[in-house]
Amino acid sequence: MIKNKFNLILVLVLVMTAAVLPSCRKGTDDPAVSFKSRENRITNSWNLVKYEKNATTQDLNGTTYEYVIYEDGKLKRTVEGTVFGFPTRTVSEGTWTFQNDDEDVKIVIGTDTTLYNIQRLATDELWLKNTQDSDTYIYYFESI
């Protein structure tokens, strides 16, 4: 009798878990299961490690791009590199909000507003896709 109750409970838990798992995944490459909400995963310090234009990897030319995304909807972008042999560092502040049932993120810095489709949002990886005219860009970030 106890064994039958245990088996029934186990089956119910498995069925409920199987029903809920697809809803945890929003981006095409999101992890199947995450114990953190999408908001908790995106609020992080991110470093751009690679980007592609029309599926071709582009050279970052020694420039680093760091985004710090805060829980309160604010963000900070730091760009460091070299221009004509002189080191340069630019810090910009902006805002972010989820759009389209958390599948996209809108980033506003100054007068520039960009809507990115979130391809992957894991604790340590963020992949953002953006299409401009006929060009498709994918930005790959890792947590710092």
Compare 45 and 33 and report the one with higher pLDDT: 45
Could you identify the residue written with the tokens 């119910």?
A: 12
Return the pLDDT at 99. Answer: 98
Cα distance between residue 61 and residue 129, in whole Å:
21
What pTM value is reported for the model?
Answer: 0.78
Return the pLDDT at 17. Answer: 47
Partners of 99 in the β-ladder: 104
Domains recognised in the chain with CATH numbers:
2-143 (2.40.128.280)
Instruction: State the average pLDDT for the chain.
Output: 86
Other beta carbons within 10 Å of 119? 19
What's the average model confidence in pLDDT over 52-80? 97
Contact 113, 54 (CB under 8 A): no
pLDDT tens digit string along 94-124? 999 999 999 999 999 999 999 999 999 999 9
Q: Is residue 90 scored above 70 in pLDDT?
A: yes
H/E stretch holding 64: strand 64-69
Q: Give 72's DSSP letter.
A: T
In Å, what is the CA distance from 113 to each residue of 80, 98, 107, 118, 130?
21, 13, 6, 16, 12
Contact 26, 39 (CB under 8 A): no
Q: Is residue 29 scored above 70 in pLDDT?
A: no
